[in-house]
Amino acid sequence: MKGECLHGLEASWCAVCLGQTWYRPAIPKRELDECDVRTCHRQAVRQAGPVTLCKTHLADLEKNLAYKFSQRPLRPGPGTVKAWVYFVQLGAVIKIGTSRQPKNRVVTFGAYGLPVRVLALEAGGRELEQKLHRRFNTDRADVGQSKELFMPTPAVLAYVDSGRTCTFCELHAQPDRVVCGRHRKRVVPEETLIGYAIGTPPPLVPHASPRTN
């Protein structure tokens, strides 16, 4: 028993499904002789559903599927994410920062002596972090020396809940996840960090912006 992608192709290479399968029996394997595309006599490199394809026509099929089913370029899988932007509750405020290893970063927050809870993650590095800092500039919290602390204003909470981008495409990620509904069956290891808590953080209550433009 071997899974196929949602389009009846081999799940290990389909750029649209990214490994998402129905776990049904695969189509019987064939010998990789010639490409099944008419007039093409090159050596086949992989079986795609019932046909075998050469390297060129395999790439063409993948591109056509990606365009047909997503209508937008797909992002790389979780194994290639270089850094994550994290949204962490520290007491009554929210810290928006970035880290290549968010789990290790979050653990260090326990030394601050404040209750800690991971609210959300979003694939992205320093550029996304700075973009969010500018976007929520008027929502900064006037506590301590850090410039990465923000009040739980409606705007900040709305972004954390439903404004983040899916790890695999440009759609919005689902609440408490790093993927959208289309990729909801995809498992991203870092996602298990969401909800991790140190101590007992108080419920976040929407707070009016502490500053005005």
Backbone angles phi, psi at 158, to 5 degrees: -65, -40
Would you say 12 and 19 are in contact if contact means Cβ atoms under 8 Å apart? yes
pLDDT at 184: 85
pLDDT at residue 59, as a whole number: 78
Residue 197, pLDDT score: 92
In this predicted structure, what is the pLDDT of residue 129?
95
Residues 6+ apart with CB under 8 A from 139: 150, 151, 153, 155, 156, 209, 210, 211
Q: For every one of its 213 residues, what pLDDT tens digit does the chain have, with 9 covering 90 and above?
A: 345 555 555 555 455 555 444 444 456 778 888 998 888 889 998 887 778 889 888 877 766 665 555 444 444 444 557 899 999 999 889 999 999 889 888 888 877 777 899 999 999 899 999 999 999 999 999 876 678 999 999 999 999 999 999 988 888 999 999 999 888 888 888 899 999 999 888 888 887 766 654
Whole-number pLDDT of residue 6:
54
Nearest-CA neighbor of 190 among 86, 95, 97?
Answer: 86
The whole-number pLDDT of residue 151 equals: 94
pLDDT for 73 equals 42
Our CA dihedral for 186, 56, 82, 162, rounded to 10 degrees, sits at -40
